[in-house]
Structure 1
């Protein structure tokens, strides 16, 4: 997500939190970008959670620029992660906040301006009167497959990292290894097992096929 919505002219469309920070940080075109990203009119489509991150990173970047803190590529994203990610330790988060404070960034004010996904949703639906068309069954299946695929990839990555750490500390001994995560879904009626991919591709278990044969 690029920072393409900041201008010298404020563009507050409403009195909600997003409208207020749009005025405060002089964001222009933010409403248009949120609508396009949410509805898929842009090249990519984002959830309200991803859009909240999009807004919050712009807030952080604007605050860094106002404090004349040099910003390198990827630095805003990493700093935001250190401030908000659940995987980051409290010590690292405190250290990051202290460094920003020393650089003249009013970090408490910045964090108070961060928005939630619910705030983004309310802004889109209430202030901007935007709605999403109901996705087709095929789109729902695709999204479900993507979500589960991402979860499996993350599980594999965490497992790999944990094994490597244990090996480095001489707690575990293993040669070259590969981690494969496979989730199996079992129907308790027909007792048929499927991988998630198989089940999504088939769209039903053998129960449905048996019922169809009887008809």
Structure 2
């Protein structure tokens, strides 16, 4: 297992910065920044997700240093067993014993796991970055929010139709629900889908 040099009493480095150096994971810092500041909502990661990613990479480094052949999915599963509240004490203890047999100090490993607050401090104070809050991102968020609500509404409607049909209260052949959300401007008469209106930045009044 790697010999890690503690510098707690020396400099003013934050925990995440220190661990990136100790575990030789410098590129992970860039990865965290890219994931947090991504302009595409589908690619952007939350601070909690980034904390999990960071901790799993630390765990992977520890396992590799211990000479363990890391199998696909093993890191995620081991981290889950060590940290998730839903895991039984028996399953957690078995995971801990397996790591201990490889010479891994469980207490030291857990103390190196970071919280999402630590990730936020690292990104904002050490790297000096913020999540984008510009106009484009606000529009993207609006589209995604309405899209999720529309999907939920269609699902609820389908469930209700199926329930009524099963109860014999309505008769319905093969069907599908179409939810057409449109915006009509009373001033210029433009009629567009909600998504198109947002993505194009408005109606003809804006041209």
Runs of 4+ aligned structure 1 residues displaced above 3 Å come to 135-138, 141-149
Equivalence for 1:18: 16
What pairs with 1:182-197 in structure 2 (closer than 5 Å)? 182=156
Asked which structure has the greater CA Rg, the reply is: 2
Could you list the runs of 5+ residues in structure 2 that have no partner in the other structure? 1-11, 158-178, 184-207
TM-score (norm 1): 0.58
User: Hey, what does 1:105 align to over in structure 2?
Assistant: 104
**Aligned residue in 1 for 2:141:** 140
Deviation at 1:144, TM superposition (A): 4.2
Residue 71 of structure 2 is aligned to residue 72 of structure 1:
yes
Pairwise CA distance, 1:91: 1.9
CA RMSD of aligned residues (A): 3.3
Aligned residue pair count: 148
Distance 1:124 1:139 in 2: 23
Gaps of 5+ in 1: 1-13, 153-180, 184-197, 204-215
- Aligned-pair CA distance for 1:132: 1.4
Q: Which has the higher contact order (CA 8 A, sep 6+)?
A: 2
Shift of 1:90: 2.1
Please, what TM-score do these two structures have when normalized by structure 2? Answer: 0.61
Matches within 5 A, 1:1-215: 15-40=13-38, 44-134=43-133, 136-144=137-145, 182=156
SS of match in other structure, 1:29: helix
